[in-house]
Structure 1
Amino acid sequence: MKLVWQILAVVAVGAVGGQSVTAVQGNPWLSLLLAALTVVLSVLVYRWVVGRTERRPVTELAREGARGALLRGLAIGVAMFGCVIANIYLLGDYKVHGFGSLTGAVALFGFMAGAAVTEELMFRGLLFRLVERGLGTYIALALSGAVFGAVHLLNQDATLVGGVAIAIEAGGMLAAAYAATRSLWLPIGLHFGWNFAESGIFGTEVSGNGDTHGLLDASTSGTKLITGGEFGPEASVYSVLFGALLTVAFLWLAHRRGHIVPRQRAERVNALATLAR
């Protein structure tokens, strides 16, 4: 029941907030305001329900060091997508036609911030963290990544290749970032930086959600292996490559810091918890 309450509370806030922001996308400033409210409310609800049901300090959302972790994640996310789009551009498959829309970028800023926070709370804060307790870090990373990729198959122009790419480059990378830091702030910043760079800056499709109107009016053309096709650059081989490299780097850091939970250790922890009850 503790797990059920956590999922219901976090998912409910994320769903209502996401629908509200989507409903007013034609008004960028209202969209930004509702997204900010969704972010704040989601964090508060997560802290409250997890702290109350698990009876512990919610260290994964500690205020100390939050700003620095967010900014580091933001920088990594923007730089990573910048490398992806640079490679596509050098092959002649990404073209900039001029400036896009500042108000469109503002609306996307809010939408992507809300999506980054709510998705990280659900998929890394709840799914990955709770599965890791029983099955260890590596199995939790694979399972949560697969679920994360599968959810994106519901998008408008979703493709199977895109879903698999998301599972590897985002599901794995973001879970590994959480494992390395044991904080949700870095993956939140990374998630937001990646998505906003993709849509709000470079004006490309995001996860099969159709056209976006960011700061640049741009388009991609060419082989789907390079551009990702209708799904967007997240289905590009370059995104998978850079995401996989960052996943390995974060896992190496997690191992160095002693943050990897082996399956055997997780089973012992569960057995001790059962005996204690």
Structure 2
Amino acid sequence: MEETTPTAPDAPAPELTTRKPGIIRRIIDFPLVLIVIASVIIITIVTGLSVVFTQVLGWVTGPGSLLGGFLIAVAMVLFWKGYKRWLEREPDREMAFAGAAKELGAGLACGFLLFSVMTGIVALLGGFEVLGVRNPVDTAIWYVGGLAFISGTFEEVLFRGVLFRQIERLGGSWTALLVTSVIFGAAHIQNPDASWFAAIAIMVEAGILLGAAYMLTRRLWLAIGIHAAWNFTQGWLYSIPVSGGDAPIGLLITRRVGPDWLTGGDFGLEASVVAMVCATCAGLTLLTLAIRREELRGAWYWRKGQ
């Protein structure tokens, strides 16, 4: 008689050993819930640290303002690491350090070159003049640098890291690009000297550009670099208002002349037709590259049956 190995009668079938997530976990995993939770945490962190650095420690100008911006950027990176581990329960790909320097450097170069090209075109059209050069010591380099740290990390983690990714889970890449672009533009409508045209310009030029930068790499470093360099180049190098703020004391002594459609008016060059055309073309180029890499994604949350 052939000898056989007995099988335990109570051994569960392999497919029954996988336990479904509980109701609380499934609620947390729903994209809109993750958006609310992450947004509240992000805004609380940035607001709290800003109050501490400016109101308590007095880091409003000088090296302290740069240090405060840098520490807020670090806090955003640490938040993302914790968010991915404990809320999404997935490995951190979006802000992994491997390859970060290369992508961040590419973004910084892209942001600087793009804004310089736009400024050069406006100058050729007679809307921008350089009157002189300041001593770097006498400029607002610390303050503008701190703002660049904050805007590059805080806004990209919130808009691309959280909003874009979760909306993409629900409605796919095109929906995510459209919705986040609209929200990004609307978020600037309350800025000083903002107009509906300025908000639309931000929505089209920056929404597409930064969304496409994320889609191309599926990481945040490229978008962070573009965003930070754009703001720093605009404010410190060319002394142009950044999204409606006061014109910083930058390296170049400049003057904007001509109609608002050309110069962007008091909101800054971001509200210029030139900026809208140039930045949108750059964004569409990145978007085309992302499509060629087959980075367009459809909605997958519903297909999972969750």
Tell me the TM-score normalised to structure 1 length. 0.92
Q: Which residue of 1 aligns with 2:166?
A: 130
User: Identity of paired residues, percent?
Assistant: 34
Alignment partner of 2:290 out of 219, 235, 254: 254
> AA paired with 2:219?
S
2:170 matches 1:140: no
Alignment partner of 2:101 out of 46, 67, 75: 67
Alignment partner of 2:185 out of 149, 171, 175: 149
Displacement after TM superposition at 1:171 (Å): 1.2
Residue 176 of structure 2 aligns to a residue in which SS? helix
Distance 1:18 1:123, change over 3 A: farther
Q: Which residue of 2 aligns with 1:272?
A: 304
Residue 132 of structure 2 aligns to a residue in which SS? strand
2:242 matches 1:206: yes
Residue 212 of structure 1 aligns to a residue in which SS? coil
2:267 matches 1:224: no
2:91 matches 1:57: yes
Displacement after TM superposition at 1:30 (Å): 0.5
Alignment partner of 2:111 out of 77, 84, 87: 77
Distance 1:157 1:190, change over 3 A: same
Q: Which residue of 1 aligns with 2:123?
A: 89
> AA paired with 1:50?
K
Distance 1:107 1:117, change over 3 A: same
In the TM superposition, what whole-angstrom CA distance separates every residue of 1:77-120 from its partner, at most 9, and x where no partner exists? 00000011001111222112222463412221111111111000
Residue 294 of structure 2 aligns to a residue in which SS? coil
**1:21-60 correspondence to structure 2 within 5 Å:** 24=58, 26-60=60-94
Distance 1:25 1:164, change over 3 A: farther
> AA paired with 1:97?
L
Task: Note if contact 1:39-1:118 (Cα within 8 Å) is conserved in structure 2.
Answer: yes
Task: Identify unmatched segments of 5+ residues in structure 2.
Answer: 1-27
Displacement after TM superposition at 1:130 (Å): 0.6
Q: Which residue of 2 aligns with 1:234?
A: 270
* Cα distance between partner residues in 2 of 1:25 and 1:213: 18
Runs of 4+ residues over 2 Å off in structure 1: 14-27, 99-103, 268-271
Q: Which residue of 2 aligns with 1:194?
A: 230
2:42 matches 1:10: yes
Displacement after TM superposition at 1:28 (Å): 1.6
Tell me the TM-score normalised to structure 2 length. 0.84
> AA paired with 1:161?
F
Residue 213 of structure 1 aligns to a residue in which SS? coil
In the TM superposition, what whole-angstrom CA distance separates every residue of 1:148-207 from its partner, at most 9, and x where no partner exists? 010101111111111000001101110111001101000000001111110011100111
Residue 243 of structure 2 aligns to a residue in which SS? coil
Residue 199 of structure 1 aligns to a residue in which SS? helix
Task: Note if contact 1:77-1:192 (Cα within 8 Å) is conserved in structure 2.
Answer: yes
Task: Note if contact 1:157-1:210 (Cα within 8 Å) is conserved in structure 2.
Answer: no
> AA paired with 1:8?
V
Distance 1:153 1:200, change over 3 A: same
Task: Note if contact 2:61-2:142 (Cα within 8 Å) is conserved in structure 1.
Answer: no
Distance 1:273 1:15, change over 3 A: farther
Task: Identify unmatched segments of 5+ residues in structure 1.
Answer: none
2:140 matches 1:104: yes
Worse-superposed segment, 50-59 or 70-79: 50-59
Displacement after TM superposition at 1:21 (Å): 5.8
Distance 1:123 1:75, change over 3 A: same
Q: Which residue of 1 aligns with 2:3?
A: none
In the TM superposition, what whole-angstrom CA distance separates every residue of 1:208-262 from its partner, at most 9, and x where no partner exists? 1122111112121101111011111001111111111112111111111111013
Aligned length: 270
Displacement after TM superposition at 1:145 (Å): 0.6
In the TM superposition, what whole-angstrom CA distance separates every residue of 1:20-75 from its partner, at most 9, and x where no partner exists? 56665652201011111111011101210232111101100010110010110000
